[in-house]
Amino acid sequence: MRQARITGVGHAVPERVVTNDDLAKLMDTSDEWITERSGVKERHHVSNDEETGASDLGVQAAEIAMEMAGVSPRDIDLIVFATISSDYFLPGSAVMVQEKMGMRHVGAFDVRAACSGFVYGLSIADQFIRTGMHDNILLVGAEIQSVALKFTTEHRNLAVLFGDGAGAVILQPSHDDSGVLSTHLHSEGSHLKDLWLPAPGSKYRPFNSKELIDKDLHVPHMNGREVFKNAVIRFPEVIQEALDYNGLTLNDVALIIPHQANYRISQAVAKRLGVGMDKMYSNIHKYGNTTAASIPIAMSEAYAEGKISPGDIVILAAFGSGFTWASAAIRW
Ligand code: COA
């Protein structure tokens, strides 16, 4: 049976670097607190004087991924764009990639599964390749979250964690046993208010009320403890699910690329699984949590650093708002 193989990967982040000390000038926090609780040392944010949207970063990442795969924009036959920070409320960012890159009039849509968005998108792309419907899929994970954050002491638990960035992959049919072996997707909507951004949305009327702004409904909110508690259960669970489904053990795995939520979460997950941190890729110290972009950015860097070689088993695992969680097993 056909399965999807990642033939190109790339990433892009805005130039502006914001350190923990920079944030400490805006709110009551410190480099020590942020480093100890999250592992984040710095993140990239778009500049306030430029109009960069999620699609712009996505295009930069896509250009690198396409060059590696040896495909041109005209070859792409489906665009899947994972984001919770699309350029506009309507339409999604995928169509902007189609237009900016001069692609054919192919299918293009966004996936809004938050931090699990990239793995959800990978699962969708894999199905299209397995059925034979598409052969050259561009999957992007891109976020510009800094513009929605409030850099105040009241919102500091969230403001210090998140960053902007994009990663992209090209998926094509595999001609051997390499490729996406499995994907597993999950959700538990009862936790939606533990990490959410209430407005604008169809629930809040009038849509542009002053109350909406006054109550900070347009700013993300997080119950950090609840997120942490669930993440350290769901990550190992969904990684184990991927292993069991494929008859693999952790000894077979070269690298786990978890969504970069928080270094402490990754440490707790590694401990529960009984693996060393050398098997758990981390670059959160440089980028913070970039939501749907974090896994493809990490994959791009891990590949560039020579940490993934042909034949390696790589496990992707994600957890985030919803709650949603997901994993993918890949033979590189
Ligand atoms: N700087 C300094 N102090 C901060 C702070 C910051 N950036 N953010 C919160 N605090 C304070 C709180 O106000 C609180 O102060 P208080 O005791 O005076 O009320 C104290 O630190 C403890 O807050 P709490 O929220 O209980 O801290 P915590 O130990 O749970 O750590 C997180 C906070 C956000 C780092 C932690 O809950 C976490 O990592 N959660 C998971 C978040 C995550 O991964 N989200 C993305 C998922 S995709």
Question: Of the listed 136, 230, 283, 289, which one is catalytic?
Answer: 289
The closest of 226, 259, 246 to 330, measured between CA atoms, is 246
Distance CA 26, CA 37 (A): 19
The mean pLDDT of 141-165, rounded to a whole number, is 96
Which run of H or E residues covers position 171?
A: strand 165-173
Token pair belonging to 35: 């480093």
- Position 21 pLDDT exceeds 80: yes
Residue nearest to ligand 1 atom 25, measured at CA: 224
Judgement on whether residues 228 and 168 belong to the same structural domain of the protein: no
Cis peptide bond N-terminal to 91, omega within 30: yes
Are 159 and 189 found together in one domain? no
Tell whether 184 and 171 lie within a shared domain. Answer: no
Residues 163 and 190 both lie in one domain = no
- Main-chain dihedrals φ then ψ at residue 49, nearest 5 degrees: -95, 5
The band of 294, judged by pLDDT with boundaries at 50, 70 and 90, is very high
- Give residue-wise pLDDT tens across range 81-103: 999 999 999 999 999 999 999 99
Domain boundary among 153, 176, 199: 176
Q: Tell me phi and psi for residue 72, to 5 degrees.
A: -105, 165
Residue-level pLDDT at 45: 97
* Catalytically annotated residue among 20, 44, 45, 115: 115
Same domain (yes/no): 157, 9: yes
Please confirm, yes or no, whether 157 is among the known catalytic residues: no
Q: If you ran DSSP here, which 8-state letter would residue 280 be given?
A: B
Q: Indicate if 211 and 319 belong to the same structural domain.
A: yes
* Residue of 19, 21, 26, 157 best suited for mutating to test ligand 1, as the one with most atoms within 8 Å of CB: 157
Handedness of CA 262, 263, 265, 266 (dihedral sign): positive
Q: What is the mean pLDDT of residues 269-295?
A: 97
Which protein residue's CA is at the shortest distance from atom 2 of ligand 1? 29
Instruction: Give the domain CATH number at 200.
Output: 3.40.47.10
Tell me how many domains the chain contains: 2
Dist. CA 138–CA 73, nearest whole Å: 9
233: pLDDT confidence band, cut at 50, 70 and 90?
A: very high
Q: Is 259 a catalytic residue?
A: yes
Asked if 284 and 167 sit in the same domain, the reply is: no
Per-residue confidence (pLDDT) for residue 126, from 0 to 100: 97
Residue that terminates a domain, selected from 116, 146, 176 = 176
Residue 185 domain boundaries: 180-331
Residue nearest to atom 35 of ligand 1 (CA): 37
Beta partners for 320? 324
Is 115 catalytic? The answer is yes
Greater confidence (259 vs 1) lies with 259
Dihedral angle over CA of 273, 251, 185, 307, nearest 10: 100
Q: Is there a single domain that holds both residue 168 and residue 196?
A: no
Query: Residues with beta carbon inside 6 Å of ligand 1?
Result: 29, 33-34, 37-38, 115, 156-157, 160-161, 224-225, 227-228, 261-262, 265, 289, 320
Q: Is omega for the bond preceding 206 within 30 degrees of 0, making it cis?
A: yes
User: Do 131 and 254 share a domain, yes or no?
Assistant: no
Question: What pLDDT does 200 receive?
Answer: 86
Same domain, 134 and 267: no
Whose structure tokens read 């993140």?
Answer: 43
> What are 165's two structure tokens?
């960035």
Q: Which atom of ligand 1 is least distant from the CA of 23?
A: 7
What rounded mean pLDDT belongs to the chain?
A: 96
pLDDT of 203 > 90? The answer is no
* pLDDT the model gives residue 132: 96
Alpha helices in the chain (DSSP H): 20-24, 31-38, 54-69, 94-100, 117-130, 156-159, 210-214, 224-245, 263-273, 284-287, 294-304
**Residue of the CA atom closest to atom 21 of ligand 1:** 157
Paired strand residues for 294 = none
Q: Are 1 and 177 in contact (CB under 8 A)?
A: no
Q: Name the β-bridge partners of 18.
A: 43
Of 111, 144, 176, the last residue of a domain is: 176
Mean pLDDT of 210-238: 94
284 and 170: one domain?
A: no
Helix (H, G, I), strand (E, B) or coil at 254: strand
> pLDDT tens digit string along 204-221?
887 778 888 899 999 999
Is residue 82 domain-shared with residue 217, that is, in the same domain?
no
Q: What single-letter DSSP state applies at residue 255?
A: E
